[in-house]
Amino acid sequence: MIKEIEIEKIKFNPFKKFINGGKLNPEIIEKLKESISHKTLPEIFSVREKDGNYELCFGHHRLEALKQVYGKTHKITINIVNYDDETMLIDMVRENITHRDVDYQDKKESIVLAYNWLNSKCDGVKRFDTVMKQSRDKSGKFKPSEDYGKPWEDEDLKDVILNMTYSHTLKGRVS
């Protein structure tokens, strides 16, 4: 379903807090603001409706750039999708490791997030958040467990993430 809503009505993807502590990179936002001035930045966003809220699947920097240029009451086009928590994670991670000019840390944390989700056996973001609380430092940033090694260097895991389709889940693809 396609509709228009104000930017301020969109909340972050519930998994965003595990990537860079949920913080956005000001340099990326500035680059995107320049794209806005040239009218080259797409303004359609995929969101899910959950508990009366709209949650962004991916595009957090793009949304923030639009908000800074046009204000929080600016209306944007959204595509409402029927995603569960795992699909929200899949789309955000896929976007972070393939489509954005992200720094190495964001890509690394995205892969670690997917890896930890696989190992958590959780079926929802609330339970996952509880499980992962011990993996955050004092600033709230997500830290990988030393027990997992370096999953961001695991080419098989990257391939699984990059080749997933909307009809497959992470837990269904990796044993």
- Gyration radius (Cα) of the chain, Å: 16
Alpha carbon distance 66, 74 (integer Å): 8
Residue 16, number of CB atoms within 10 A of its CB: 22
pLDDT at 140 over 70: no
Higher pLDDT, 160 or 115: 115
pLDDT at 117 over 50: yes
- pLDDT tens per residue across span 78-110: 999 999 888 898 888 878 777 655 565 666 777
Alpha carbon distance 96, 64 (integer Å): 16
pLDDT at 135: 55
Higher pLDDT, 174 or 99: 99
pLDDT at 9: 97
pLDDT at 172: 43
pLDDT at 160: 56
Higher pLDDT, 147 or 70: 70
pLDDT at 48: 96
Q: Which fold has domain 2-173?
A: 3.90.1530
Q: How confident is the model at residue 168 (pLDDT cuts 50, 70, 90)?
A: very low
Locate the DSSP E strands across 1-156.
2-6, 10-11, 44-50, 53-56, 75-81
> What's the pTM?
0.71
Residue ranges per structural domain of the chain: 2-173
- DSSP classification of residue 84: -
Alpha carbon distance 135, 129 (integer Å): 10
Torsion sign, CA atoms 157, 163, 165, 168: negative
- pLDDT tens per residue across span 10-27: 999 998 988 888 899 898
pLDDT at 80: 95
39: left (phi over 0), alpha (psi -120 to 50) or beta: left
Residue reference for tokens 């990988």: 144
- pLDDT tens per residue across span 36-83: 877 776 778 999 999 999 999 999 999 999 999 999 999 999 999 999
